[in-house]
């Protein structure tokens, strides 16, 4: 495994350069340390990662090895394709986000011109070189096939969580609810990355409409580019029921996810097929109902509808979101039914064991 020395939310932290964990050799390479908050600094971190990764992979990769390129950072498939070609290795791309399309949809400077067009063509070449390209959902898979004509070299394997470790915890037995002073409250949560890909205006407007509902709390857990904006808007709009917590350790993730009575997931509709919010899997494993703010015909929207474990609200329909939250607060049976269905969906369709079996099929020669 070749990865960075940095922690996700702590660019100043430094992990060991080399380590063996559960029999896996981990090589942590040097990168710059600007962090994820600023786009320019994040770009510098990516570029230095590409250079360091290419150098280390050239030293490690041997003929007939299988090289798996997990595309975060974006475009790492290009680096991996060059190394695999030079070393005679088998390439498997694990596509987490489709880039540069994501940057184009977000209006990142310089991406909607010749530069973005060139990146797409080079990225497409790295997909065509691969023995297999793993997509996170059907819409992403369809897009990749359309870009490269890779009908026999695109496979869907959903992301997963440790569904033995993350299990439903009744609110009355949840330690974090007590520590955070949430006893007796109806807790609406957003857990994970608060980034550019996510839509938050609908959530803020709904929170404003629910300002007088003193038994309702909106809790954001995590970090990201938009967290500072959300904190500022919370103060500006006078939303005392909104609070923030940092990312929680893996050891307490089940309690953190279980601290909510209902979870919110959001994705800007223009990013459907390019990004898939993987927070869904942890929430479902925790047996919690969900409301998705985004495209009703999107990947998460369709899953919530067919799995009967949540509801979908279009962006800017804040009144409908507020109405749904009131309904869920007052209907314990509906919350329990949606939560049970979510957990069942993990066990039947999105379990870690099922994902491992699919990956074993891809990686076996």
- In contact, 135 and 158? CB cutoff 8 Å: no
Q: Quote the pTM value.
A: 0.92
pLDDT of amino acid 11: 65
Question: Helical H runs in 210-351?
Answer: 227-236, 253-258, 279-285, 299-307, 318-330, 332-349
Nearest to 139 by CA among 111, 118, 158: 158
pLDDT tens for each residue of 227-279: 999 999 999 999 999 999 999 998 999 999 999 999 999 999 999 999 999 99
pLDDT of amino acid 9: 67
Specify which residues 272 forms β-bridges with.
275
Distance of alpha carbon 226 from the chain centroid: 15
pLDDT of amino acid 36: 61
pLDDT of amino acid 6: 81
pLDDT of amino acid 148: 74
Burial of 70 (0-12, 13-18, 19+ CB in 10 A): middle
pLDDT of amino acid 125: 94
pLDDT tens for each residue of 32-59: 877 666 667 778 888 999 999 999 999 9
Q: What is the DSSP string of 144-209?
A: HHHHH--TTSEEE------TTTS----GGG-HHHHHTT-TT-EEEEEEEE--TTS--HHHHHHHHH
* Regions of the chain where pLDDT drops below 70: 9, 11, 35-39, 365
């Amino acid at each position: 495994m070749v990865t960075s020395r940095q922690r996700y939310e702590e660019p100043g932290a430094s992990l060991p350069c080399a380590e063996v964990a559960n029999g896996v050799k981990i090589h942590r390479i040097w990168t710059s340390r600007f962090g994820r908050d600023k786009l320019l600094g994040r770009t510098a971190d990516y570029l230095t990662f590409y250079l360091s990764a290419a150098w280390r992979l050239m030293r490690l990769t041997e003929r007939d090895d299988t090289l798996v390129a997990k595309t975060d950072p974006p475009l790492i498939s290009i680096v991996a394709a060059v190394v695999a070609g030079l070393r005679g290795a088998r390439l498997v791309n694990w596509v987490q986000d489709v880039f540069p399309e994501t940057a184009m949809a977000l209006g990142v400077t310089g991406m909607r011109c010749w530069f973005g067009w060139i990146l797409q063509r080079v990225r497409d070449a790295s997909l065509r070189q691969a023995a297999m390209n793993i997509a996170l959902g059907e819409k992403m898979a369809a897009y990749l096939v359309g870009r490269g004509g890779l009908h026999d070299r695109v496979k869907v394997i959903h992301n997963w969580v440790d569904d033995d470790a993350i299990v439903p915890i009744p609110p009355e037995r949840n330690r974090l609810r007590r520590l955070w002073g949430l006893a007796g409250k109806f807790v609406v949560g957003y857990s994970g990355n608060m980034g550019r890909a996510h839509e938050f205006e609908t959530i803020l407007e709904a929170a404003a409409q629910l300002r007088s509902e003193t038994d309702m709390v909106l809790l954001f857990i995590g970090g990201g580019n938009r967290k500072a904006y959300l904190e500022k808007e919370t103060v500006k709009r006078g939303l005392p029921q909104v609070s923030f917590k940092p990312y929680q350790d893996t050891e307490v993730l089940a309690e953190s996810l279980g601290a909510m009575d209902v979870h919110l997931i959001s994705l800007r509709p223009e990013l459907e097929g390019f990004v898939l919010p993987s927070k869904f899997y942890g929430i479902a494993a925790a047996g919690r109902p969900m409301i998705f703010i985004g495209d009703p015909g999107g990947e998460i929207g369709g899953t919530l509808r067919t799995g009967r474990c949540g509801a979908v609200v279009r962006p800017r329909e804040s009144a409908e979101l507020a109405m749904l939250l009131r309904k869920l607060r007052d209907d314990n049976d509906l919350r329990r039914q949606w939560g049970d269905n979510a957990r069942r969906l993990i066990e039947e369709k999105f379990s870690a064991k099922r994902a491992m079996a699919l990956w074993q099929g891809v990686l076996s020669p």
